[in-house]
Amino acid sequence: MEGEQVDSSLDLSHLTDQEQSIILQVLQRDLELRRCDEGRVRNLQQSETDPARLRFLSGAWFSEESSKRHRNRTSGCDLVHATIRHRKTKSRGQFSFNAILLSLACGAAFLLLWGYPNDGSVVDDFEHHNGDTDSMSSSLTEADPASLKTSSSTSSLHSGYTLSGSMMSLFSSGDFGLVEVRGRIQFSLVYETQREELQVKVHRCEDIASARKNRSDPYVKTYLLPDKSSHSKKKTSVKKKTLSPVYDQTLRYKVRIGELRNRTLNLSVWHAEPLGRNVFLGEVEVSLGLWDWTSTQPLWQDLQPRVHLNPDSISSRGTIMLSIKFIPDGFEGSGLPLTGELHIWLREAQCLLSNKGGAIDSFVRSYILPDASRQSGQKTRVVKRSISPTYNHTMVYDGFHTSDLREACAELSVWQREGLKTHILGGIRLSCGTGQSYGESVSWMDSTEEEVAVWTSMIENPNHWIDMTLPIRTNLNPRSE
């Protein structure tokens, strides 16, 4: 067919609307990836001075070789786009449908050679398993077969570890109801204290849904939420044409044991689709703060559909670690300090949960209410790109008498910064929680029992640091102006 001039449309009348829609989705995916790669090449052209290296890294050699072989061949992508867009129903030229597949195959081959862009511009739900070989090989280890000799049935004792809604639904969008979820997954969790390493052992799945004509090509993907970054994403290999795949693979996470109680492990099963969207087959979410770490035996859990979790229903956005102490006036001798001082040592926050997931830029702001003036406000530095930021910042307020502490409230709020905008994630309020200040009813004296206990302990133990780890709650009562 080379050397032939073809017309600008195809006869696709034999295809159903659904089949045409699927083809158009593949072409749209191809267009998105081409645009991403054009941006990559532009960046290379600005940074690379060696023409030969630029030709190699940009993939120009591939385009040149392709044009030599198919000099007069019209792009199958362009023809299908034009045909579906104009809804032509009559054939105005002869064109082999294999040419379309050839054009798409060329694009796929290019991506295999150069990989997907790593700038986050490609939506995760469109990912292709072929593009994840590097991250896959670096995170997999064969499990000891002996560990599977002990049988394990579905345990009701562990049902409390799963969440009522999917935390993953906060960070991802898309249609997850294409296939009715069924089946179950077997996994086990081990924490290596010396290595500070969480080992997620994915053993097998059983009786999962079929994505394509009584078959699926399944793989398991995990995230250690709230981190939704590529660093948190791990995958098993893909098992072809099976509804009961056996993996026997271990996915590893470097994480401090103190952070585990605020982490949620998401295990999701997907069908790998070579030229389109991967198909969601079900998931399990495990609250690691409730996990029994003495149990290392494989556990069966039923796969669940992705249930939308309302962001407003989240009661905590992480935890904050701090210490406080009160130094009464004259307590240090020689009349010092002249007035009572309140010291707040903000150490760190752990597992900050943003609406988008992943690492964020954050800071902490403090007020000693009822004084909400700008002079009362203090804040830490901004810690960039971290879900567990270390602030190590001490705030000092003076001018207090011991009696004032029962009328005051230390409000500490955690904020996320995105460009020039900031928004609050949540906070804590340390006070006696009486609902009143100097005889007046106030909305901000709404401390929880745990917060009241910390504040009371500080008052009763002057000049002693009181250490605490408190949840960053989202239900702080609004302050009335």
pTM of full prediction above 0.85: no
pLDDT tens digits for 436-477?
999 999 999 999 999 999 999 999 999 999 999 999 999 999
When mean pLDDT is compared over 124-138, 250-264, 276-290, 433-447, the highest value belongs to 433-447
- The CATH homologous superfamily to which domain 165-309 belongs is C2 domain (2.60.40.150)
Domain locations in the chain as residue ranges: 13-72, 165-309, 316-473
pLDDT tens digits for 393-412?
999 999 888 889 999 999 99
pLDDT at 118 over 70: no
pLDDT at 95 over 90: no
Averaged confidence pLDDT in the chain = 77
* Of 2-16, 174-188, 333-347, minimum mean pLDDT range: 2-16
Phi/psi of residue 341, each to 5°?
-120, 135
Top pLDDT among 67 and 140 is at 67
Task: Let me know if the fold of 165-309 is the same as that of 316-473.
Answer: yes
Q: What is the CATH number of domain 316-473?
A: 2.60.40.150
Inter-residue contact 353 to 443 (CB < 8 Å): no
Q: What is the pLDDT of residue 213?
A: 82
Inter-residue contact 320 to 472 (CB < 8 Å): yes
